Homo-oligomer: A and B are copies of this chain.
Amino acid sequence: MATGDTVKFISLGGIGSIGKNMNLFEQGDDIMIVDCGLMFPDEEQPGVDLILPDMTYIFDNAERVRGVVLTHGHEDHIGALPYLLEQMALPVWGTGLTLGLVQAKLDEFDIKPGCEFIEIKTHETYQIGSFSFEPIRVNHSIPDAVGLAIYTEQGLIVHGADFKFDQTPTEGLPADFHAFARAGAQDPIALIVDTTNCDEEGTSGSEMRVREALMEIVEEAPGRVIMTTFASNIGRLQLAIDAAAEHGRKVAIVGRSMEKNVRVAAPLGHIEIPEYLRININQIDSYPDDELVILVTGSQGEPLAALSRIARGAHHQIKVHPEDTVVMSSSAIPGNEALIWKTVNGLARQGAHVLYGEGYVHVSGHAKAEEIKLLVNLVRPKCLIPYHGEYRHMLAFQDLAIELGFDKKDVHLLGPGRTLEFTGGIAHPGKSVQAGSVNVDGLGVGDVGDVVLQDRRILAHEGIVMPVIAIKRDTCEMVSEPDIYSRGFVHVQESEEMLDKIKHEVGRTATDVCAEGIDDPEVLYEQLRKRIGGYIERLTGRRPLVLPVMIPIDM
Contacts and interface: CB of A to CB of B under 8 A. Distances in A.
A43 interface: yes
B551 A443 contact: no
Given A338-B43, A447-B491, A549 B466 contact: yes
A479 interface: yes
Interface string A429-462: 0000000000001111001110111011101111
A334 to B, nearest CB: 5
Contacts of A479: 553
A479 B553 CA distance: 7
A460 B463 contact: no
Contacts of A455: 463, 487-488
Nearest to A333: B338
Contact of A344 (B392, B460, B466): B392
Contacts of A485: 466, 547, 549
Interface residues of A, number: 68
Interface stretch (A186-194, A247-255, A502-510, A538-546): A538-546
B337 A335 contact: yes
A413 to B, nearest CB: 9
B337 A47 contact: no
A348 B47 contact: no
A317 interface: no
Nearest to A440: B541
Nearest to A470: B551
A93 B488 CA distance: 39
Interface in A14-49: 16-17, 42-43, 46-47
Contact of A552 (B349, B464, B480): B480
Nearest to A489: B452
Given A443-B541, A463-B456, A551-B483, A338 B349 contact: no
A310 to B, nearest CB: 15
A443 B539 CA distance: 8
Contact of A542 (B17, B441, B460, B462): B441
A287 to B, nearest CB: 26
Interface string A510-546: 0000000000000000000000000000001110010
Interface string A458-487: 011111101011100000000110010101
B488 A553 contact: no
A430 B547 CA distance: 51
A223 to B, nearest CB: 15
B480 A338 contact: no
Contacts of A491: 447-449, 451-452
Interface string A312-336: 0000000000000000000010110
Given A452-B491, A460-B47, A338 B335 contact: yes
A275 interface: no
18 contacts: A17-B345, A43-B43, A47-B462, A47-B488, A334-B338, A341-B390, A346-B391, A348-B392, A348-B395, A444-B541, A447-B491, A447-B494, A452-B489, A456-B460, A459-B460, A459-B464, A466-B485, A480-B552
Given A47-B460, A447-B494, 13 more contacts: A43-B43, A47-B461, A47-B488, A341-B392, A345-B392, A456-B459, A459-B459, A459-B460, A459-B464, A459-B487, A466-B485, A483-B551, A553-B555
